[in-house]
């Protein structure tokens, strides 16, 4: 499953997902709420568990012992609130992953969308709203950065007023998101500096940056003030974050916690199990690995 397609589908159908059937009793009975340590605030990205309805995912999340789901837009918020689950990263204001703030032709639409969504996010009691640079399409990085800064500055004062943090996600352009502009931590940090607001930060995706750059722990320690959110997944393959892949997540989580970070770390791996119960077990295991 490609994230760009999954997010588009979820944005259109999350309400429908919320009213589908319930998980079998045997699956939920096998899951006992875990007592977590409280050093890491856990979440999970809804698109990687989209084989469950949103209602079902809420039940799994609660049974696993945490209370947040990532990448949910306004249509899904009533389901989260009914279940006592927090929207740790809101979406829905973006056009898509490839048409972003680096291209001025999209600024009118983006400014309108983000102005509306900042109000919605604040009104719902949430904090984080995702955004994307967009693809280069032949544009040089400096021009793209200037365009991003110019456009984002037109919404950032409202974000500051409403207490909403706009977060641009770092993607790898080597494997998953060819031509994406915000594919280097240094580029994203420079954009943060040019915007100059505590309400604009980077969503540091550990999976993506391991592929494009590596040196994850040093990067987090040296630049944590620019990171407002984290995503996980195994490298290579974007699957479980267990012993089958090259990243050692307990050490990464300890580095994050050592910075004083109080935001969320969201699991964004694609589970490989054949059965639903196996995929749910993979989420529980990932949370346990990261619960340092």
Question: pLDDT category, 16, cuts 50, 70, 90?
Answer: very low
Of the listed ranges 29-38, 67-76, 203-212, 224-233, the one predicted with least confidence: 29-38
| Model pLDDT for residues 116-153, shown as the tens digit of each residue | 999 999 999 999 999 999 999 999 999 999 999 999 99
Tally of domains within the chain: 1
19 domain residue, yes or no: no
Residue 18 has pLDDT above 80, yes or no: no
At 4 the pLDDT is 53
278 domain residue, yes or no: yes
Residue 8 has pLDDT above 60, yes or no: no
What does the angle CA 178 – CA 129 – CA 233 come to, to the nearest 5 degrees?
Answer: 50
At 6 the pLDDT is 53
Predicted model pTM: 0.90
185 domain residue, yes or no: yes
- Whichever domain contains 136, its CATH number is 3.20.20.150
271 domain residue, yes or no: yes
223 domain residue, yes or no: yes
173 domain residue, yes or no: yes
18 domain residue, yes or no: no
140 domain residue, yes or no: yes
Mean pLDDT confidence for 77-96 = 98
At 135 the pLDDT is 98
Q: Which domain holds residue 88?
A: 3-12+24-290
Residue 1 has pLDDT above 70, yes or no: no
At 109 the pLDDT is 98
Of the listed ranges 28-37, 146-155, 201-210, 253-262, the one predicted with least confidence: 28-37
Average pLDDT for the chain: 92
Residue 94 has pLDDT above 80, yes or no: yes
């Amino acid at each position: 499953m490609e994230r760009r397609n999954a997010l588009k589908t979820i944005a259109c159908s999350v309400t429908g997902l919320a009213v589908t059937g319930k998980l079998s009793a045997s699956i939920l009975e096998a899951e006992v709420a875990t007592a977590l340590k409280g050093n890491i605030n856990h979440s999970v990205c809804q698109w990687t568990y989209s084989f469950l309805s949103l209602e079902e995912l809420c039940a799994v999340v609660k049974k696993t012992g945490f209370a947040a789901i990532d990448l949910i837009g306004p249509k899904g918020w009533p389901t989260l609130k009914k279940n006592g689950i927090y929207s740790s990263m809101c979406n829905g204001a973006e056009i898509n992953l490839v048409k972003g703030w680096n291209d001025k032709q999209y600024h009118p639409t983006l400014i309108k969308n983000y102005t509306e969504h900042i109000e919605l996010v604040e009104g719902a009691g949430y904090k984080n709203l995702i955004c994307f640079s967009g693809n280069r399409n032949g544009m040089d990085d400096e021009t793209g950065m200037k365009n991003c800064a110019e456009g984002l500055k037109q919404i950032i004062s409202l974000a500051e007023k409403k207490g909403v943090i706009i977060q641009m996600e770092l993607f790898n352009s080597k494997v998953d998101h060819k031509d994406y502009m915000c594919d280097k931590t240094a580029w994203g940090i420079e954009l943060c500096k040019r915007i100059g607001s505590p309400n604009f930060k980077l969503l540091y995706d550990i999976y993506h940056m391991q592929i494009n750059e590596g040196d994850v722990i040093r990067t987090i320690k040296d630049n944590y003030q620019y990171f407002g959110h984290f995503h996980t997944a195994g490298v290579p393959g974007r699957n479980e974050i267990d012993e089958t892949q090259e990243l050692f997540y307990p050490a990464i989580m300890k580095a994050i916690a050592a910075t004083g970070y109080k935001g969320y770390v969201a699991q964004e791996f694609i589970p490989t199990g054949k059965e639903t119960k196996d995929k749910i077990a993979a989420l529980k295991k990932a949370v346990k690995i990261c619960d340092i």
